[in-house]
């Protein structure tokens, strides 16, 4: 498998980017190259296939776009790096579960570069940090009642949602760098009431968008190779 090509698109419209991902994936052939698009979007709420309107808590001027990715509702906005790997998983030789694991691992390794420890929470895709000790390695709390995810003391710093059609994956992961987090208060992030969302700036890491995009892109480009 050839190396993944990084394409820094910068600030771009979400809906146009979503349609471009669909179009790219729809016409893929066996020799179509895999790519990673690095984007920053204007303010937008996006709903996954399971998205329910009750998770939109406040009516606002921020547009809402229904998509074909997995998951519930999330928010994209300036100061957030959104990485879209466009991959042929059959050619890569692994299944969706491993693909998601590899994306999460790339985020964890990116955070580690800035002294931040990223955590997985069972049953809740994405990456989380300890609010009281972002660099700490202590084990996470046990699951909540009835086996539900336990977010006590945690903040979500990266959200993940993918779509796979004909073995071809698109959508991806959003890493919060330095953004206005207020719109996350207008929703139940990823469908979880009360889940706090944070960015690198909130936990004391100062890094520019371009640097963060380059770092995450490189980790993904290496981590997604077979």
CATH number at 137 reads 3.30.930.10
Residue 25: C-alpha distances to residues 84, 96, 165 (Å): 12, 16, 8
Tell me what pLDDT residue 40 has.
Answer: 98
- Domain total in the chain: 1
Q: Could you confirm whether 12 is annotated as catalytic?
A: no
Tell me what pLDDT residue 3 has.
Answer: 80
Order across the sheet with 124-130: list the strands: 5-11, 35-40, 80-88, 168-176, 154-165, 124-130, 119-121
Positions in the chain whose pLDDT score sits under 50: none
Extended strands (E) in 103-145: 119-121, 124-130
Which pair of tokens denotes residue 181?
């987090």
Tell me what pLDDT residue 141 has.
Answer: 72
Closest listed residue to residue 78, CA positions, set 191, 176, 186? 176
Tell me what pLDDT residue 18 has.
Answer: 98
pLDDT tens-digit map of 13-26? 999 999 999 999 99
Q: Which domain holds residue 97?
A: 5-223
Tell me what pLDDT residue 144 has.
Answer: 61
Tell me what pLDDT residue 138 has.
Answer: 85
Tell me what pLDDT residue 218 has.
Answer: 98
């Amino acid at each position: 498998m050839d190396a993944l090509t990084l394409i820094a698109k910068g600030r771009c419209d979400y809906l146009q980017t979503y349609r471009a991902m669909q179009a790219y994936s729809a016409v893929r052939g066996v020799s179509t190259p895999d790519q990673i698009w690095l984007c920053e979007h204007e303010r937008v709420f996006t709903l996954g296939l399971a998205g329910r309107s009750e998770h939109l808590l406040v009516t606002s001027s921020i547009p809402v776009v229904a998509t074909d990715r997995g998951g519930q509702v999330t928010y994209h906005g300036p100061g957030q790096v959104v990485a879209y790997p466009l991959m042929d998983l059959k050619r890569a030789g692994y299944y969706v579960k491993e693909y998601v694991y590899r994306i999460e691992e790339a985020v964890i390794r990116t955070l580690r570069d800035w002294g931040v420890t990223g955590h997985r929470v069972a049953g809740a895709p994405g990456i989380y940090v300890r609010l009281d000790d972002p660099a700490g390695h202590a084990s996470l709390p046990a699951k909540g009642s009835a086996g539900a995810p336990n977010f006590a003391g945690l903040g979500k710093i990266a959200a993940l949602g993918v779509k796979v059609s004909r073995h071809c994956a698109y959508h991806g992961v959003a890493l919060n760098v330095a953004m206005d987090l207020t719109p996350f208060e207008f929703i139940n992030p990823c469908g979880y009431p009360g889940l706090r969302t944070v960015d690198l700036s909130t936990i004391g890491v100062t890094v520019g968008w371009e640097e963060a995009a380059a770092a995450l892109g490189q980790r993904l480009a290496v981590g997604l190779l077979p």
